[in-house]
Structure 1
């Protein structure tokens, strides 16, 4: 089995890189490696990867820094690798824009399943769709969300989002005018409990609004803050 999906594996431990490479290559993925954050960021900016597996704890530049710097330039999907007990690091990772995390020691099978799930949701390969009659499309004034292709357009211009930004937008847009508190969004979009640390939701909403606003101010206004409660999606006709 061969695919044209290219994945960057970043970890300062060679044995972990070898293990991940072995299992992912069995699935037909093309694997490249980096042993530190500085090299990883250079490679991620220079090349186009479909996914990056990124260890959090690395010397020099850690995974959170790499993800944060990468998000300023590219929406490449990122799965963080984190050791048990690094709760605060996982929170920081989500705030930096990671799309998922896997706790060490991990099952290689779990890694493969998580990788496949992210690639299904986010890859540009999914943009080539044929039968438009069965498409799952949300159409609003100033904003279209094609869930089959995972494509968002605002006033006719495509908006590039990370997988988690897309999931957040789609989740809100499916329930127009319904208010969701941050705990609900963490559970439904991130599938993770943050035990009271809700900053990652605000960070992603801010980033999502900024990206939409660059293309359409009206589209950005559809994500509404309900003070003291959370967020909702409200149709703007103006």
Structure 2
């Protein structure tokens, strides 16, 4: 069954362009032009991924992303019309998995969609049979890969799909440094990484906040400056 993708953009030409390229890759596309219409679709249908424009009438993409995260774990990609760091960080903070700046190259958009779906399939046990290490434990942290649950000192941690994937990779590589570039490529599996890309940095920061961790005295995620991140054995 083809993946079903929600596209929300009030610029119909852009929504149509996205639809054409995704249809060419055999995806099923549902288009909405307002946040309210999109919310109705989200509540009525199941999706595998959502592409949300930030600047929407009445209900912006940030609010829509929050509503999705209240109930769903599928990947969310934000579209922003300007290359502003605050928009990107805000989107990631609210649970988005990636962002694309307008104007964008359609083939790059398709590559990012495919990368997110691959990552979601790999790290979401409902979609994957790859659960060899079903339970990973470390210093009060328990990650159940099969049920996609994470506990810290017996309290549930609410992680976005990307946060879960990053933490799983670091836990599976305990004692070894994993670079931001390696994390990026293992999760998104595309070639659009650059040293200016702070996507991993933002996700690591939010992971630390949820783990009650600090950069100065880390119990879990340690920064190896100029190299990457690691969890000590």
Question: What's the TM-score, normalizing by structure 1?
Answer: 0.69
Give the 4+ runs in structure 1 shifted more than 6 A.
none
Q: What is the Cα deviation at residue 68 of structure 1?
A: 1.7
Query: Residue 55 of structure 1 is aligned with which of 45, 53, 56?
Result: 53
Hey, what's the Cα distance between the residues in 1 that align with 2:143 and 2:39?
Answer: 32
Q: What is the Cα deviation at residue 24 of structure 1?
A: 0.4
Question: 3-state DSSP class of the match of 1:225?
Answer: coil
Q: Structure 1: 5+ residue runs without aligned partners?
A: 210-222
Residue deviations 1:182-202 (CA, integer Å, cap 9, x gap): xx769945957477xx66544
Mapped contact 1:91–1:194 kept (Cα < 8 A):
no
Q: Give 1:12-161 correspondences, 5 Å limit.
A: 12-123=10-121, 127-129=127-129, 135=132, 139-140=136-137, 143=142, 152-153=148-149
Q: What is the Cα deviation at residue 226 of structure 1?
A: 3.7
Hey, what's the Cα distance between the residues in 1 that align with 2:87 and 2:181?
Answer: 16
Q: Structure 2: 5+ residue runs without aligned partners?
A: 152-156, 188-192, 222-230
Hey, what's the Cα distance between the residues in 2 that align with 1:186 and 1:44?
Answer: 33
Larger fraction in helix: 1
The 1:229/1:102 distance shift into structure 2, 3 A limit, reads farther
Hey, what's the Cα distance between the residues in 2 that align with 1:13 and 1:227?
Answer: 42
Hey, what's the Cα distance between the residues in 1 that align with 2:101 and 2:11?
Answer: 15
CA RMSD of aligned residues (A): 3.6
Map of 1:203 onto structure 2: 206
Q: What is the Cα deviation at residue 69 of structure 1?
A: 2.4
The 1:143/1:67 distance shift into structure 2, 3 A limit, reads same
Question: What's the TM-score, normalizing by structure 2?
Answer: 0.70
Question: 3-state DSSP class of the match of 2:213?
Answer: strand
Q: What is the Cα deviation at residue 21 of structure 1?
A: 0.5
